[in-house]
Amino acid sequence: MLNKICSNPIIRQYAVVITVNLSVLCSGIGLAWPSPVLVKLNNATETVLPRVITAVEGSWIVSIGFLTGIVANLIIGTVLIDRFGRKPFLIFMCLPKFVTGFLYIYATEVWMLLLGRALVGIADAGIFTILPMYASEIASKEIRGSMGTILQIMCSFGVVTMLSMGPFISYTTLNMIYTGFIICTTLPLLILPDGPYSLYSRGHKAEALKVLTFLRCSETQAKEELAEFEKADEMNTECVSKKDIIKNRLFLKSLTLVLILGLGSQFVGFNAVSFYLQTVLESTQTSVKPEVASVTIGLIQLFASFCTTLVTDRFGRKSILSVTCVGMGLGMLGLGLFFKLKENGAVDGFMNYVPLISLILVVFCYSAGIGSLMWVLNAELFDGPSRGLGMSISLIATTLFVFLTTKYFAIVSLLIGPAVTYWIFSVNCILLCVFIMFCIPETKGKSFAEIQDILRGKKCEDTKC
């Protein structure tokens, strides 16, 4: 069926990667789910529960999925990820979302919502680990960056979908639509090929060659890439076990870089703000309707993801990341300024719009920068044999950071005040920018072997690290 798509290899690769990223559409819907749902659950006339939820229950509904995601990533990375193909594992990871959909629809107690959020966390842990690896194996090196950002586009589209319909329809209708999305985005995965490197590493060399030939529309190019797989394996023969991989200095260097990126991507505060988006907007008590502002911000996020896809293979990863980190810093600075002025009762006129303008800047810069390119870099900075373990460890750490920021954002904001909280996020944005400028190698247009050479220090002119 996929053979009939087009004889153009670029379009063929995009078709495969877009199809596989449909599963992230539901992840985006799930990520934005707390924003309108928490408002409904706190409203005595809209909640489906016997009572309105408490602040502690609300924080657990937002964050528990990230806690279960940490455990899931640990199992995925150490036991499962290299034993099965990318495609079968991805389909398996979509199954918990079916259960979640029905838990949401028939929820009558808080524990049912918590269980659903926990299952979504497990599913997303697998999906966000596998998808960047799958896309990096499917894509040619010339378009690997732009194809890697499709994950963020789909996730942003899911966020927009939830923010657009969530505030305006009932709780039950919302979750019936959510479940329908889960079904419709999982079925297309059945027609996809498996990842070529995954096939090769499990001994299916003939099948790997067949998939590469289909993707590149050239058997010669497919054989060249297969030879690169073999060369990479020969260079990493000492890393035959997870224990040996962890002891490898090059792996540890790559892991350190992606862990700091993961830490930075969360402590800039984007997720802490976005998961409480409607609540944050209501707390500003400005003339801008929070429902309208939520949709606007979601559309900005989607637009930013598209922009990154268009420019990432033209300007490179580092320049985009550096500029967008500064933009996020300015947005967080603006939010802090607004809340500080609000404390002093000096909010009127133009200042009513500062929160919306600042949030738009934060959302645009995050989605155009670290939100899109972190997944690309995570897959690029590891070589083939260590990619599964490295991606899983980085996802464990990143998920832990998401859990901490979402679980304690409201508490910290209450203790030290929202102004100081947002200013801390602003400083973190600048620190992340400095780290990217001086420590992350430029990977644009480079093969995986060339990226590993840079990390070894063989081509230091491409990086200041």
Nearest-angstrom CA–CA distance, 230 and 201 = 9
CATH H-level superfamily of 2-192+236-462: MFS general substrate transporter like domains (1.20.1250.20)
How far, in whole angstroms, is CA 179 from its chain's centroid?
21
**pLDDT recorded at residue 80:** 61
Q: Angle at CA 337, nearest 5°, toward 367 and 60?
A: 55
Tokens encoding 66: 């990230």
Tokens encoding 206: 């003939």
Residues 6+ apart with CB under 8 A from 227: none
**pLDDT recorded at residue 350:** 66
Nearest-angstrom CA–CA distance, 438 and 416 = 32
Per-residue pLDDT of the chain (465 residues; tens, 9 = 90+): 445 445 688 888 888 888 888 888 999 898 888 888 888 998 888 888 888 888 888 888 888 888 888 878 777 655 666 667 778 888 888 889 999 999 999 988 999 999 999 999 889 888 888 887 788 778 777 777 777 778 878 888 898 888 888 888 899 999 999 999 999 988 888 888 887 877 777 777 888 888 888 888 877 777 877 777 777 666 555 445 667 777 788 888 888 998 898 888 888 888 767 655 655 566 555 565 666 766 777 788 788 877 777 777 677 788 889 999 999 999 999 888 888 887 777 666 666 677 778 888 888 898 888 887 887 787 788 876 677 777 778 878 887 887 777 677 767 777 888 888 889 999 999 999 999 988 888 887 777 778 888 888 765 444 444
Q: What number of residues does the chain have?
A: 465
Nearest-angstrom CA–CA distance, 48 and 279 = 19
How far, in whole angstroms, is CA 369 from its chain's centroid?
12
DSSP string over 391-410? HHHHHHHHHHHHHHHHHHHH
**pLDDT recorded at residue 113:** 93
Nearest-angstrom CA–CA distance, 270 and 257 = 20
Q: Residue 41 is inside which H or E element, if any? A: helix 34-41
Distances (CA, A) of 323 to 52, 138, 368: 43, 29, 10
Nearest-angstrom CA–CA distance, 279 and 39 = 7
Nearest-angstrom CA–CA distance, 444 and 143 = 9
